[in-house]
Structure formats: structure tokens, C-alpha cells
A and B are shown apart, each in its own frame.
Chain A
Amino acid sequence: MTSNQNILVKLNQAGFRLKDKWLVKGVSLQIEKGQIVTLIGPNGSGKSTTAKIALGIYKNIDGEVEKFTNKVGYVPQKISIDWTLPLRVRDFMVLIENLKDEDINEALSLTGVIQLKNKNLGDLSGGEFQRVLIARAISKKPDLLVLDEPVQGVDFTGEIALYKLIKKITDELNCGILLISHDLHTVMSATDHVVCLNGHVCCSGSPMDVAKNNEYKALFGEQASQILSRYEHRHDHIHTSEGEIKKN
């Protein structure tokens, strides 16, 4: 099973249950070096949960998760930092790993926030903070990057630039990326493998395969599979509180 040395993390029928409600169930996927795997799906479909399972944040999970690297960079979807802490951007950069000053500067320059290095973290705008989060995650040159809606709150031109950067980093570091994104256009153009979630895996494969898939069309609408730019979806099924799936 571990014969392929390029595998960074592997989920086998993984699921997570909070009390009686399944947040996500039966997810199998693997991320290899140099590969971008994207999770898509409507709100509450278990994208962030799947990422947290892969990262080992959730402990009592169903199924299996195997992680073959400890060099991980994580950009969480939500981060609440307590402002009782006096914390500058430069302190935040070395939160988990000690870095050389050049490396800090390089990462901050790449994401376009070098001028904020000595600013207090609490004084940043949402988009600026997001850029700092990405800079921190890439600065340690990880084997595996987990990016949960990494460009939320970033301006339009910045969004494109950051996605380009993410793509460039994958190529340079040959790292694997698990990306969660709502932007289907980006997803389809840069991703190697797409997993479409809706509490379970609806469909997965290359972006073109997924776009042609009927379940995907049902979930995101016809338009999404044609132009892939408009985000729209209809639910073909609903979830009961026990996590069962009922067709409409």
C-alpha cells in the first residue's frame, strides 16, 4: 500500500461523526507530491472536515488516514486569534518553525505583504491577514500544503496572483496541495484531481471527467460544467440529521 513513495497523505473510507451527526463519511483520496487535489461542494458538505481529518486534527475518526510527512503547511478557513497576545506579523511567521530572516522576507514578498512585517497582527485587514497566513504556510517549504479557502477576502487581482503563486510553489517545491475552493474556474484550470463532496464523495477524477459527471451537474448546475465560471448548485438530495441521504 505504501509502495508509492510519492504519496503524502492517504484517506481510506474516512469519516467523522459529531455526536450522532456525520459531518462527512466514506472519503477516500490520496495526495501525491507535485499534485493539486481540490475539494469542491456546497456549504456544509464536509470539505473543511475532510481537510482536518487529513491533517490529523480530528482524532476519533472512522476509517483510516495515513500521513507520510510531518512537513505540513496549513491555512485554515477560520482562524480566531486572541488579541490579548502582542503578536506582530514577524512573530506569527515563526510560530511553529524557526526561520531565517531571509526566508521570512521571501515568503512575505511573494504574497505581497513584506511591508506589514512589523505590524501587529490585530491591525491587519481580512485580505492582508489571509496573505500573511499563506506566507506563513509556504515559508517553511512544506511537503504538503492544506489550503482551506486561501484567498477569501483577497481582492480580485490578488486572487489570481495568489493562485498563480500556489501553482508555482507546487512546481518549485514539488509539494502536494489539498485545496478547498469555491472558485470553480481556478479549480478546473489548475487542478490535477477534483473530489466533489456532499457529505460523501459524489464523484472524483480529473477536472474534465468531473465536469462531465451527471452527479456534478446535478450538484452545481449545467452552467458550471460548461463555462465553469458561475457558481450555482441545486441539491439533488438532502441530508437527514442522522447523516442519511434522501433523494429529492
Chain B
Amino acid sequence: MLDDFFIRALIAGLGIAIVTGPLGCFVIWRRLSYFGDTLAHSALLGVTLAYTLEFNIAISVFIISSLIALILIQLQKKTNLPGDALLGLLAHSSLAVGLVVIGFLTFIRFDIMGLLFGDILAVTVDDLLIIWVGGPLILLVLKLIWKPLFASTVNYELAEAEGLNPDRAKAIFTILMAGIIAISIKMVGLLLITGMLIIPAAMARNISSSPQSMVIYSILGGLLSVILGLFTSLEFNTSSGPSIIAASLFLFILSLLNIKQSIKLKN
């Protein structure tokens, strides 16, 4: 069954959606969408290094993204530049350096489009293994740090005063972000990973009243987007990343209709 590229892509995509659901909620709650973008852009550098050193792409991307996150934290402490300027600086310079390095690697044929927007043909059995081992691992760690992370998202001082450790939770969450980008880059592509994180969660926000229900709707939205997107991709021969994101946008628009209806009902 795993011989079929489409089945592989489907299993990979579903594995990714389960993880991006809850992480995406935190990205929205903590206003981290540009942070996610920066990590994703730096992933290109990770990919090129993986090719150069003939190393596993996911692991290489994970290391580079974590490194960029670390550099960002240091820059925030040492410079007076605002956070968004630092994010922009790191995002574009790491993307640029990645592309320059690709220019030098003339001996390897690169599928740039695949890197940027994802390619369902590229998903191997090894990738599935990484997604279905790495993904649950990310979820497990997220569950362990849920309390301090969520409490400090609501109010930092309350969490700190009452004995949780919000700084540690934040640092671990950053690593989890690097992790999800690493395992989903082949499938979704580095320009669209943040969309995969944000759009299902944004859709979920529209229709949920508690944090738990938002996480659940976010996962369901992601799963549905993957299924819809991949079938579209297969049918019309479009890139997998944009197809999945477009499907999630479709669900987001549906959730807006739901809001309108519930407002009508109230009145």
C-alpha cells in the first residue's frame, strides 16, 4: 500500500495536520506567525546543507531552525532593534544565503518549486517514519508543557507568581516549532508551512468557545484540508502545499458563514 505515492502523501499529510493543529493555536494565541515564517525561511538553508553533506533533510532543518531561534533570542537581548525587524532580517538573510548556496551546488539538480511549495511525489517511506515518530513526540512534549505554556500565554505574571516556569516552557515551545517545520517541509513547502499552522487554527477560533475545543477543531480542520488538498493536487496536478492551504482557506471562509448565522440566531 505504501508503494503508492498518493497514499504515502496522505499518511504524511494527516500526520502533520494532527501536530500543526495544537501548535497553530499557540502560534495564534502568542502572536507568533512571523516567528514561524522566519523559522520556515531558514529551513532552506537546512535543506541545502542536508544536500551538501548528504544528511537527512528533517534533522538538518531542525538543527538550522533551532539555531536561528537561538540567534534571534540573543539578538533580542543584545540589540535595540524591534522584534519584527529582527525577524525580517533573519528570515530574508537565511533565505538568501540558502539560495546562494544552491547556486554553488551545480552538481545537484534542485527542484526549487518543490522546496518552496511542497511536492507529494517526494514523500518517501523514511519521511513517513520521521513524521509518525517525530509528530507524536512533539505532541507528547506539548502536552507536558501545556500548563505553564498556556497559563503564561494568558498572563505571564500569574504563571510566574504561582510557581509555574513560563520561560522554560517558552524555550521548549520554540524547539517544537523548529521540529514541526522540519517534519513538514517536504510536504507543504517552506513558504506555506506557517499557513498550515495558522489557517486551520484561525478557522477553529471562529467556531469555538474554549481552548480545548479550539485545539480539536484546529486538528479536524487540518486533517480535512490535507484530504481535500491532496485530492485536488492529484486531480489537477497542482503543487501539494498550495492545494492544502487553499483547502484550509475554503474551510476558514465556511467558518465565517457560521459566525454570521450564530449572530443572526442571537438577535
Chain A interface residues (CB < 8 Å from chain B): 52, 55-57, 70-74, 76, 79-82, 84-88, 91-92, 95-97, 120, 146
Contacts and interface: CB of A to CB of B under 8 A. Distances in A.
B154 interface: yes
Interface string B149-166: 011011101111111100
B34 interface: no
B211 A96 contact: no
Contacts of B155: 76, 79-81
B205 interface: yes
19 contacts: A70-B163, A73-B162, A74-B157, A76-B155, A76-B158, A79-B155, A82-B29, A82-B31, A82-B153, A84-B29, A84-B31, A86-B208, A86-B210, A87-B210, A87-B211, A91-B210, A91-B212, A95-B154, A96-B151
Contacts of A71: 163
Contacts of B161: 52, 55-57, 72, 74, 76, 146
Identify which of B210, B213, B214 gathers the most chain A CB atoms within 10 Å of its CB.
B210
Contacts, number: 70
A79 B161 CA distance: 13
B209 A96 contact: no
Given A52-B157, A81-B154, A95-B154, A72 B162 contact: yes
B170 interface: no
Q: Which 3 A-B pairs have the closest CB atoms?
A: A55-B161, A74-B161, A70-B163
B29 A96 contact: no
A84 B31 CA distance: 9
B241 to A, nearest CB: 26
A116 B157 CA distance: 24
B158 A88 contact: no
B214 A74 contact: no
Interface residues of B, number: 25
B151 A95 contact: yes
A139 B117 CA distance: 50
A55 B155 CA distance: 15
A141 B29 CA distance: 29
Contacts of B151: 95-96
Given A84-B205, A86-B210, A96-B151, 17 more contacts: A55-B160, A57-B157, A57-B161, A76-B157, A79-B155, A79-B158, A81-B155, A84-B28, A85-B29, A86-B208, A87-B154, A87-B211, A88-B210, A91-B212, A95-B151, A97-B162, A146-B161
Contacts of B150: 95
Nearest to A91: B210
B208 A96 contact: no
Nearest to A98: B147
A79 B159 CA distance: 12
Contacts of A57: 157, 160-161
A86 B157 contact: no
Contacts of A56: 160-161
Contacts of B158: 74, 76, 79, 95-96
Contacts of A80: 155
A147 B226 CA distance: 49
A146 B214 CA distance: 32
